[in-house]
Structure 1
Amino acid sequence: MQSIDIIRLSEKQKQQLIILKRKTGIENWNVLCRWALCTSLADPTVPPKEDIPSDSNVEMTWKTFAGEYSEIYKTLLITAYQKLPTGSEQKYSFLDFIKIHLSRGISCLSKNNTFSN
């Protein structure tokens, strides 16, 4: 299993998070990203494979992303990754798996009307 050192976001994800920060009043990227990750992991389907660029200036260490609960988040991710259908691990690297879940979660939160002003 690859180690998780840095979480880098795409420009699209950055823009979605800027809007979420404004709607929710939550100032920290890492908190919103944790919510996004959990939102995606709560969906039992596997997000479709996509090439997500790391083309924004938003990046955070795993420690910043996961905070004091880093072992819990890592265990959740490893467990979900290990539950992939046979052969899927060739399709998804562990880091790609994290990126697609984060991407799906950010998109879901962005579309959620609960946060509307």
Structure 2
Amino acid sequence: MQHIDIIRLSEKQKQQLITLKRKTGIENWNVLCRWALCKSLADPTIPPKEDIPSDSNVEMSWRTFSGEHSEIYLSICKTAFKSQKVENDFLKFLKCHISRGISLLLKEDKFMN
């Protein structure tokens, strides 16, 4: 399993996060991305497989993304990665979950009112 140094988001994800930042008042990309990851991992279905470009200027280190609970997030993600057995690339797996999670958060009424 590859080591994750940097997570780069797509322009589409960036625009979605801007909407979430405006609706929630949360200013930090990493907090919203952690929420998105957790939201997606809580869904027992496998996220759609997609090639997500790294075409925005939003990027964060794994340490910034995961915060003070880095080991916990890494363990949860590795467990999900092994159990879902869909993707061979750990970074792509994470990006698909973050992408789906962002979409799920955008659909929640409490964020869109």
- Aligned pair 1:25/2:21, yes or no? no
Contact 2:106/2:112 (<8 A) preserved: no
Alpha-carbon deviation of 1:111?
1.6
Contact 1:10/1:55 (<8 A) preserved: yes
Aligned length: 113
Query: Given the two structures, how large is their TM-score scaled by the length of structure 1?
Result: 0.92
Unaligned residue ranges in structure 1 (runs of 5+): none
Post-superposition Cα deviations, 1:22-72, rounded to whole Å, max 9, x if no partner, equal: 000000000000000000000011111101001000000001000100001
CA distance in 2: counterparts of 1:28 and 1:105, whole angstroms = 16
**What do you get for the CA RMSD once the two structures are aligned?**
1.0
Query: Given the two structures, how large is their TM-score scaled by the length of structure 2?
Result: 0.96
**Percent of aligned pairs with the same amino acid:** 72
Aligned with 2:102 (options 71, 85, 106): 106
Alignment of 1:42-53 (within 5 A): 42-53=42-53
